[in-house]
Structure 1
Amino acid sequence: MLAAPRFFSGVRSSGSLKRPVAFYLLIGIFQALTERLWYLMSMRAFGGFIEDPQLHAWMGSVTHDMSLPMTLLISPFTLLLQLAVLSVLYHVMIRLVEPRAADLPTTVRVISYSAAPTVLSVVPLVGPVVGSLWFVVCTFVGVKYAHRLPWSRTALAIGPLLGLGFALTVQLLRMFMSSVPM
């Protein structure tokens, strides 16, 4: 991902989607497991310092609800759904901006391979954030080079999706913060 323009220039619709989808699933499952590991370790490390019984009970229920077998069982399905939704959304936006350049298999490849930076989730606290931001940058660059679009058309196609994603993330964080007992 350090040479994204060169890499994505060679990503075109050819052959099967098995490898990119498998790559996306492996990276996604790895990310889910490492984030779960860091979450559980932080709960154990800081759980003894929490004096509020409601917050302690809430944290215990969240930890219990996120069992490892359930994470391994559910992750592939949620990742496939996520890949399908993102691919279709990106494809529709690209098609609206530049119909001749729109190619769904190429978009699936771009999103799948753009997930590579999410391996940074092994770094506690900042890794998931940096990996997610790098993923966004890679998808933007990937769409530009794989679909051979100018920067302006890429921004016009992908910009609204990124804005919507940012707004949804902020709303989800607000909902989560309001549900945490204080």
Structure 2
Amino acid sequence: MDIIYDKHFNGNEWYGIITFLIGFLLVFKLKKRFSLKEALVYFFYCVFIGMMADHSIGVPPLDYYDVNDLSNYEFFDFLTYFMFGAYGYLYVYIYDYFNIKSKYAPVYILFWSIVSTIMELLGDYMGVFHYKNNYKIYYSFPIYLLTLGLLSYLYVLINTNKKPQ
């Protein structure tokens, strides 16, 4: 199946801009809960995971999807990665705020994995994602489970080893 790339400024760019702005507004409006160093770790973990996915399963030989208007890297791809960072930070912020206990962590991870899959589905509808080589949206769900599970584990590791202030 040939992908028709839309090279106009429209739905996929607006989706990227709006989700980016909402994420960053929330991050900057919320009360500070973490040191700058810790906040940057959570933020850039998700930026890194997004980049790693796009540059591993999103390129040949697997080449399961393209992001935005071109198969080449563009500005809105970069914006998408930073959107992932903001929402990853929000994930940890809420985890910390509600002091999610380890026995409830799987439910929290499952909930956010479902939300992430729905957001990706909306992004697909808006033209952000172009799936190829028989990739299906439901393949992303276990990736979100793993990614958010590891982010939760990172949070626990950091907070287990944190010195009292």
Range into which the TM-score falls when normalised by the shorter chain: 0.3 to 0.5
TM-score using structure 2 length: 0.44
* Structure whose alpha-carbon radius of gyration is higher: 1
Greater fraction of residues in helix: 1
TM-score using structure 1 length: 0.41
